Amino acid sequence: MKTILITGAAGDVGTHLRRELAGKYRIRASDLRPLKKVAQEGFMRADISKFADAMKITKGVDAIVHLGGYSVEGPWEGILSANIIGCYNVFEAARRNGVKRILFPTSNHAVGFYPRSQTIDHRVYIKPDSRYGVSKVFGEALGSLYADKYGMQVFCMRIGNVGPVPIDKRRLSIWFSPRDLAQLVAIGIEHPGIRFEIVYGISGNKRAWYDNSNAFRLGYKPQDDSEVHAKEILAREKPGGDPVAEAHQGGLFCVAEEVPNPAPLPRARKRASRKK
């Protein structure tokens, strides 16, 4: 059984992924935050903005799913430390530790300034919609460098929005169900032909803004489509909203300086309301 390091394992996507991959891989979970119920997983607390920590957690694994970092638009200092310095540290530590394969969950926000009227594929020019989006582009570029220069195998998934159900109209186009996430991640870990790839991390949504043919070429067969939730979601959607946000794929990220986590898991919601 392969040993997979998941950074950012305590986050929303990490929590879904650990549950979905349990039993398929030996998981080494890592996060800056403590992680309690880790069952059979090993947990290593680490701050990836410190190179020594990145070296420690990447040692002896077969592949890395690098989810760790700032996951929304926010202050530059946080993004710089977690998504630029932290991302560099993970790639460089992986290289020094001889780990060949890295899955980098980039984001729809690397290309969020494309209009909703346009269908884009994995070859379009980048159009980040936020500092956060720029940090994801940095990770994609770093992945390309490490693939070309050091022969690493890098699988970049431009993730939409992961959750049990889509949460609003925009997410009908970019929803990514946990089981489709797990399927795409397994392709990223197992596919023998990966050198450097960009795919979109979304389910088989009828309303997708992406031509995800590169993922399909690698064997991805999504099982879910947001369309089954469309009627209910559209019925509760309020008209109006910022015209720039509404016109572009990245939505609020195109206009806001800070964006809250759109659908935190119940435990994170509880924590946030305790703080108020």
Name the residues annotated as catalytic.
132
* Of the candidates 262, 267, 220, 243, the residue with the CA atom closest to the CA atom of residue 109: 262
| H helical segments located in 151-262 | 169-174, 178-190, 213-217, 227-236, 243-247
CB of 261 to ligand 15L, least distance (A): 5
* Of the candidates 252, 272, 9, the residue with the CA atom closest to the CA atom of residue 133: 252
| Among residues 7, 71, 130, 212, the one that binds ligand 15L under rule CB under 6 A | 71
Query: What is the x/- site pattern for ligand 15L, positions 34-63, by CB under 6 A?
Result: ------------------------------
- Check if the beta carbon of residue 28 is closer than 8 Å to that of residue 4: yes
Q: Which is nearer to ligand 15L, 89 or 107 (CB)?
A: 107
- Distance of alpha carbon 110 from alpha carbon 140, whole angstroms: 9
Query: What is the x/- site pattern for ligand 15L, positions 132-171, by CB under 6 A?
Result: -----------------------------x---------x
> Under rule CB under 6 A, how many of the chain's residues touch ligand 15L?
9
Query: What is the x/- site pattern for ligand 15L, positions 255-274, by CB under 6 A?
Result: ------xx------------
Q: What's the first-to-final CA gap in the chain, in angstroms?
A: 44
Q: Which is nearer to ligand 15L, 113 or 152 (CB)?
A: 113
CB of 107 to ligand 15L, least distance (A): 3
Query: What is the x/- site pattern for ligand 15L, positions 88-117, by CB under 6 A?
Result: -------------------xxx--------
Helix (H) or strand (E) holding 11: none
Token pair of 82, please? 């977690």
- Check if the beta carbon of residue 189 is closer than 8 Å to that of residue 63: yes
The contacts of residue 135 (CB under 8 Å, 6+ apart) are 69, 70, 79, 80, 83, 84, 87
Q: Which is nearer to ligand 15L, 55 or 245 (CB)?
A: 245
CB of 20 to ligand 15L, least distance (A): 17
- Distance of alpha carbon 183 from alpha carbon 233, whole angstroms: 26
CB of 27 to ligand 15L, least distance (A): 21
Residues that bind ligand 15L (CB under 6 A): 71-72, 107-109, 161, 171, 261-262
